[in-house]
Amino acid sequence: MNTHLDTILAGVAEKTLAELAFIFSMPDDAAVRHVYSALVASSVDFSGPFSGSLTLAVSANMLPAIASNMLGLDEGDTSPLPDQQLDALKELTNVVCGNLLPRMAGTQAIFRIESPRMAEPEATEGTDGQGPVARTRLVLDEGRAEFALSISGDAPALVQDQVESLL
Amino acid sequence: MALNVLIVDDSAVMRSMILKVLKMSAVPLAEVREASNGQEGLEALSEYWIDLVIVGINMPVMTGEEMIDRVRAIPEYIDLPVIVVSAEGSQTRIAKLLEQGVKFIHKPFSPELIIEAIKDLTGACNEHAS
């Protein structure tokens, strides 16, 4: 795992959660990390200078709040429908991915980002037998969010070069 | 003039967010139509009079980029106001879009950015700008 990439991923994830869903995170704390166990996940695949996927797994009990905040629903409004909750999760994943890639590869790089899809929470452990190259866990008010970036092929060397140029 | 707006995005939540911004704003609205990809967006454009398009980029079936290319190839839509709302971070890609005369708004966005872009492109809600 790459510490620099973890830091970049954490920064983008925190900022996106706050600005898009008005969900604010706290420093990770092992004491509360495992309190919330049921996770729902979505992934988005990308290809370009390097290819891979970003997965976001979030505590299932957070989904209504995330969707409500994104939709701007007020107290007393009908709760978001299950489809809206999952769509909100996928949109969050998409926006984090879109903001993360230029931080890694520079703003001239062009990536193709596929439509986000639902995924198994275990996808945060990596794909195709490979562990993620970056991972971060954010503790939320009533749950947690885990982000994992997996990259295929020999891309990690490229990523490292790009990250060093940013630091 | 009340605007006929077309919102094109594969995320229903994102379409709802944009619609909410439009309703909160002083933008006078006529009809607001939605499409979930560029192809559906083009079909809506061929069927209805549209004054403003708000479109994402990465969508299945047809991307926002391709939709804009095709829209601009239609003489009557050369000057159609288009706002792109996307998490796209490639300046290369954004520059190409800007050459098409669109406004680009990066996700996550504030409602004010969208309202400002509408005002700049259409002149709508100028009377409420103070």
Give the domain CATH number at A33.
Answer: 3.40.1550.10
Q: Supply the pLDDT for residue A123.
A: 82
Q: What is the pTM of this model?
A: 0.89
Chain B residue with minimum CA distance to A19? B108
At residue B128, the pLDDT reads 46
Per-residue tokens: A8: 């970049």
- At A125-146, the pLDDT tens digits run 876 667 899 999 999 888 899 9
Task: Flag whether residue B34 sits within 8 Å of chain A, measured between CB atoms.
Answer: no
Q: Which residues pair with A39 in a beta bridge?
A: A59
pLDDT recorded at residue A55:
96
For A53-82, the pLDDT digits (tens) are 999 999 999 999 999 999 989 878 888 999
Contacts of B124 by beta carbon, 8 Å cutoff, 6+ apart: B1, B3, B27, B28, B118
Q: What ipTM goes with this model?
A: 0.89
Residue of A6, A73, A4, A49 lying closest to B17 (CA atoms): A73
Residue B72 corresponds to which tokens in the numbers above? 């601009």
- Is A77 near chain B, with CB under 8 Å? no
Q: Are B37 and B64 in contact (CB under 8 A)?
A: no
Provide the number of structural domains found in chain A. Answer: 1
Q: What is the pLDDT of residue A162?
A: 55
**Fold annotation for B1-10+28-57+66-87+97-108+117-122:** Rossmann fold (3.40.50)
Domain ranges in chain B are 1-10+28-57+66-87+97-108+117-122
Determine the Cα–Cα distance for residues A31 and A78; give it in Å rounded to an integer: 34
- Facing A87 at nearest CB: one of B11, B87, B107: B11
